[in-house]
Amino acid sequence: MDFLADYLWLIIALPLAGAVALHFGGKFLPEPLPGLVAVGAIGTAFLIAAAAFVPLATGEAEAHILMLWDWMPGIGAAFEIRWDQLSALMTLIVTGVGTLIHIYSIGYMHGDPRFSRFFTYLNLFAASMLTLVLANNYAMMFVGWELVGLCSYLLISFWFTRPSAAAAGKKAFVVNRIGDFAFIVGLMLVFTQFGSLSMSETVLSHPGEVLSPGTATAIAILFLIGAAGKSAQIPLYVWLPDAMEGPTPVSALIHAATMVTAGVYLIARNAAIFELSPVALPIVATVGAATALVAALIAVGQNDIKKVLAYSTVSQLGYMFLAVGSAGYVAGVFHLMTHAFFKALLFLGAGSVIHGMHEEQDMRKMGGLRTAMPITHATMLVATLAIAGIFPFAGFFSKDEILASVFANGGYYLVLWGVGLFTAFLTAYYMTRQYIMVFWGKPRWVEGLKPHESSLWMTVPLMVLAVLSAGAGFLNTPQLLTLEHYLEPVFEALHPAHLESELPRILGMDGLAFGLAIVSLGVAVIGIATAGFVYARSSERFRQWFANATRRPMNASENAFWVDKFYGKTIVLPGKKLAQGLASFDSFFVDGAVNGVAGVVQRIGMSLKPLQSGFVRSYGATFVAGVIGLVIFFLTRGGL
């Protein structure tokens, strides 16, 4: 362990080295070698992380900090790695799911002219994300925070010749920057309060002795806004659906499993600050619940296979915010993990479908694919059941735990619990709708299309993820609470009251917890049954009637409630007009004043023409005379 602890930097350095090597040498390697290099880099990082994780999990080792180098010593910015239960778990998710998606990409990106460049970016992303989660210093975390944004930008606009892809990449970066604005201000506040940016000297070292509730609220809200940008929460979620312009493995890795969960991680990591504020956590929970609901409502009306999953991701991230906002940090992290498995699987499955359908993404032109793509179908079914929250798949446990945590807070949180429950119904509904539209019914394929199952590069990762989506829930069953105990060292210091009194009461088998689990399971079953009836089992006449009856709400949902249009009209356009106005002001007014003065001087000069010789000498003389005049003026008026 001691040996490994000093080499934890390799977890970041390996994928970074892979990216650098591929950047300069990748184009000389034939397919699939660049992919294998990238897989090797991140795979080795996973193995190192796993080896270093074992002593943490068994309790042999404690949290460990590895100082790398001083960055900006004056403000306590440094590169230092924190290896504790939370960062180790995040590292395993990032490198584990990351490795699977890297492997999948070898099949998915086959034949792309920029094959090796794609893996350069994937490896760079992995290194950036690991920088983010392993940081023991806010400044280093911000490096990772921004670099994942950069990789997101590069990968969304990977097919840069498509104007929509280029625009989507830019939109993602700019919207994230709005969140970063708040994050940076939050960091300034942290530094002026604590005199450091190192986490072990700030948030993880009795922040209650330093922060007043007001300041804690300010920092928490600023961090929340930053988190809302990265994790696509209201009102900054609009970039994530557009991000689907990127290749599908990117959607799975960055925009479902890892990067977008950074906001949840940020809040969980800073829970000690959020808890010092009387209002921060309820605000987080409210934002989460609202986002979960709105995004689920939009997902119901989407016809693009990836757009359904994109809004679903926004919604599930809202769920995670709801969890941490209810002080259910373990539940939030638990759902982060299970979601990483089943949502990555859904995206990769969708990618397999798109691949097999020759780049078709419209579910209305799919149907009946279960026989043509049996592996994709079976794995997607597992993922659908997992996200819907059906026992014993992974999503059931994590979602149930979130709802229980929300419920445990009582009072206002009961409303949020209701919202969460309704969202669970919607989730089961729209996922079943998608599953049926893609895999069941009669084929509605474009004529002449012959769908095919994908290569092993793609299906093997699907199968591995399917196993994880089916079984990961048992990592934290209400009886064993394995994950809860594992994460205890991270959260116990922050919120002892919660762990000691409420959680056992709620999660213990005192009847209420069991009842809550039955309710959420029942809601999921109703959602599946409803969608099953509407899209598969009902008569043609009923379907006609249903389509008519729901035309208006479905239209609103399909158009995502016109939020993008609204932002365009209220922010983008006025902003552009303002900038244009300032530019005109600059050339006509500010510069005009200067030219005007020059014009007046010139006119005076013309009238005095006889006096001027036009030679530099006389200009010089005037200059000297002016200076002397000024000196005299200053010395007499200067109050000597």
Nearer Cβ to other proteins, position 211 or 323? 211
User: Shortest Cβ distance from residue 603 to other proteins (Å)?
Assistant: 16
**Interface with other proteins in residues 539-578 (CB under 8 A):** 576, 578
Dist CA 245 CA 174 (whole Å): 16
Residue with smaller CB distance to other proteins, 358 or 576: 576
**205 contacts: CB under 8 Å, gap ≥ 6:** none
* Secondary structure E strands in 327-442: none
The answer to whether 172 touches 230, Cβ cutoff 8 Å, is no
Contact between 640 and other proteins (CB under 8 A)? Answer: yes
Minimum CB separation of residue 228 from other proteins in Å reads: 15
Q: Does 188 bind other proteins (CB under 8 A)?
A: yes
Tokens of 46: 């996973």
147 belongs to the binding site for other proteins (CB under 8 A): yes
Q: Which residue of 21, 31, 65, 170 would you call a contact of other proteins, by CB under 8 A?
A: 170
Cβ proximity to other proteins: between 544 and 580 the closer is: 580
How does 37-54 read in b/e, with b if 16+ C-beta sit within 10 Å?
Answer: bbbbbbbbbbebbeebbe
Q: How far is the CB of 60 from other proteins (least distance, A)?
A: 31
Cα separation, 302 vs 485, in Å, equals 40
Long-range (24+ apart) CB contacts under 8 A made by 41-44 are 41/14, 41/15, 41/17, 41/123, 41/126, 42/14, 42/15, 42/18, 42/95, 42/98, 42/99, 42/102, 42/122, 42/123, 42/126, 43/95, 43/99, 43/102, 44/10, 44/14
Judged by CB under 8 A, the residue of 115, 191, 311, 396 near other proteins is: 191
The site map against other proteins for 579-618 (x = CB under 8 A) is xx-xx--xx--xx--x---x--------------------
Binding positions for other proteins, 195-234, rule CB under 8 A: 195-196, 201, 205, 209-212
Q: How many other CB atoms are there within 10 angstroms of residue 55's CB atom?
A: 17
C-alpha torsion 436→438→442→444, nearest 10: 140
Is residue 347 within 8 Å of 248, Cβ to Cβ? yes
> In this chain, which of 7, 160, 545, 566 binds other proteins, going by CB under 8 A?
160
With CB under 8 A, what is the number of residues at the site for other proteins? 74
- For the bound state, the minimum distance from the C-beta of residue 132 to other proteins, rounded and expressed in Å, comes to 11
E strand or H helix that includes residue 213: helix 213-230
**Selected binder of other proteins within 31, 36, 181, 512 (CB under 8 A):** 181
Task: Note if the bond before 553 is cis, omega within 30 degrees.
Answer: no
Among 1, 51, 67, 174, binds other proteins (CB under 8 A): 174
Of these, 2, 69, 609, 616, which contacts other proteins (CB under 8 A)? Answer: 69
Q: How far is the CB of 38 from other proteins (least distance, A)?
A: 19
Which residue lies nearer to other proteins by CB, 41 or 78? 78
Q: Is 237 in the site for other proteins (CB under 8 A)?
A: no
> Binder to other proteins among 162, 444, 452, 603 (CB under 8 A)?
162
d(CA 89, CA 128): 16
